[in-house]
């Protein structure tokens, strides 16, 4: 049995290792660069050309961009470890599986947060066109972070299932696309019937839009946190079985 260290240090060590891995390779820069190229173009067309201070539509489409880019970010988190054999070093180190999972998850979220921080200059630009709705802007950032954290946890779980980064990316994209299609179907279904109500209630995108419209709900926050925790739990279970 592996003797585990106490405290946050092991998880922080995993976090730092993976964050450095993202930015020592082109992956982190490609991810953030692609995100900023797409979102800045959309921001310019939606807000700057229209001289509008309303960034709601920009953030509404930001989650779709993350949906396509997230598999690129998460595909390597465990798959690369398996392929290179470094997972054995992690699993035999005095670190709990939860510290491994947490470190890798927060590394992915760290890259997401870095990308989001690069959009802060938008606030100064839209201030030229009118008084920004600060509460709505804060809600938009919280919504993006919560929903993308769910996607990161899902991608992390799927990466833990295979040593192929390509398969991990394809599985992640298929899952995210399936969730998006299910959300689209919920709009065409009778909301008074159980299937329609269930799809709407389960939809990440419906709850995301609720946040975007300024409807701060503790239920929505608990939903995002619970779904994130669920997939982190699944990932931890996969690692526990590999550690045996």
> pLDDT, tens digit, for every residue of 84-111?
888 888 888 888 999 999 999 999 999 9
CB 156 within 8 A of CB 104: yes
Separation of alpha carbons 160 and 72, rounded Å: 14
Q: Is 164 exposed, middle or buried (0-12, 13-18, 19+ CB in 10 A)?
A: middle
The count of other CB atoms within 10 Å of the CB of residue 12 is 14
Predicted pLDDT at 201: 66
Rounded Cα distance between 104 and 16, Å, is 9
Residue 1 has pLDDT above 50, yes or no: no
For 198, list phi and psi in degrees, rounded to 5.
-65, -45
Q: What does the block give as tokens for 103?
A: 């470190």
**Residue 64, pLDDT above cutoff 90:** no
Q: Tokens for 43?
A: 């921001």
Q: Strand, coil or helix: what is 31?
A: helix
Give 112: exposed, middle or buried? Use CB within 10 Å, 0-12, 13-18, 19+. buried
DSSP assignment string, 85-151: TTHHHHHHSS--HHHHHHHHHHHHHHHHHHHHHTTTHHHHHHTTTS---HHHHHHHHHHHHHHHHHH
pLDDT at 194: 63
CA-only gyration radius of the chain, Å: 19
Nearest in space to 63 (alpha carbons), one of 112, 124, 2, 100: 112
Handedness of CA 127, 131, 136, 138 (dihedral sign): positive
The whole-angstrom separation of Cα 228 and Cα 117 is 22
- pTM beyond 0.85: yes
Percent of the chain with pLDDT over 90: 45
| Domain residue spans of the chain | 9-243
Distance from the Cα of residue 152 to its chain's centroid = 4
Residues 187-223: tens digit of each pLDDT: 676 666 666 666 766 678 888 887 777 677 788 889 8
Q: How far apart are alpha carbons 157 and 238 in whole angstroms?
A: 8
The pLDDT score that the predictor gives to residue 39 is 93
C-alpha torsion angle, residues 190, 225, 93, 156 (rounded to 10):
30
């Amino acid at each position: 049995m592996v003797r585990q260290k106490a405290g946050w240090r092991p998880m922080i060590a995993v976090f730092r290792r993976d964050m450095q891995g993202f930015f020592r390779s082109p992956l982190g820069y490609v991810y953030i660069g692609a995100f900023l190229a797409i979102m800045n173009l959309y921001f310019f067309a939606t807000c700057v050309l229209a001289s509008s201070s309303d960034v709601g539509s920009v953030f509404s489409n930001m989650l779709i961009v993350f949906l396509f880019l997230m598999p690129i970010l998460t595909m390597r988190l465990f798959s690369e470890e398996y392929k290179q054999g470094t997972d054995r070093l992690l699993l035999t180190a005095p670190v709990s599986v939860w510290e491994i999972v947490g470190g890798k998850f927060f590394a992915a979220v760290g890259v997401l947060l870095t990308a989001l921080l690069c959009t802060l200059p938008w606030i100064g630009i839209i201030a030229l066109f009118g008084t920004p709705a600060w509460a709505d802007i804060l809600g938009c950032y919280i919504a993006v972070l919560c929903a993308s954290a769910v996607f990161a946890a899902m991608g992390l779980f799927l990466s833990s299932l295979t040593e192929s980064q390509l398969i991990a990316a394809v599985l992640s994209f298929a899952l995210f696309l399936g969730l998006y299609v299910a959300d689209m179907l919920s709009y065409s279904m009778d909301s008074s019937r159980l299937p329609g109500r269930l799809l709407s209630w389960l939809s990440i995108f419906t709850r995301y839009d609720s946040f975007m419209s300024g409807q701060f709900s503790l239920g929505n926050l608990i939903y995002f946190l619970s779904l994130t925790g669920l997939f982190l739990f699944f990932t931890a279970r996969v690692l526990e079985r590999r550690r045996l």
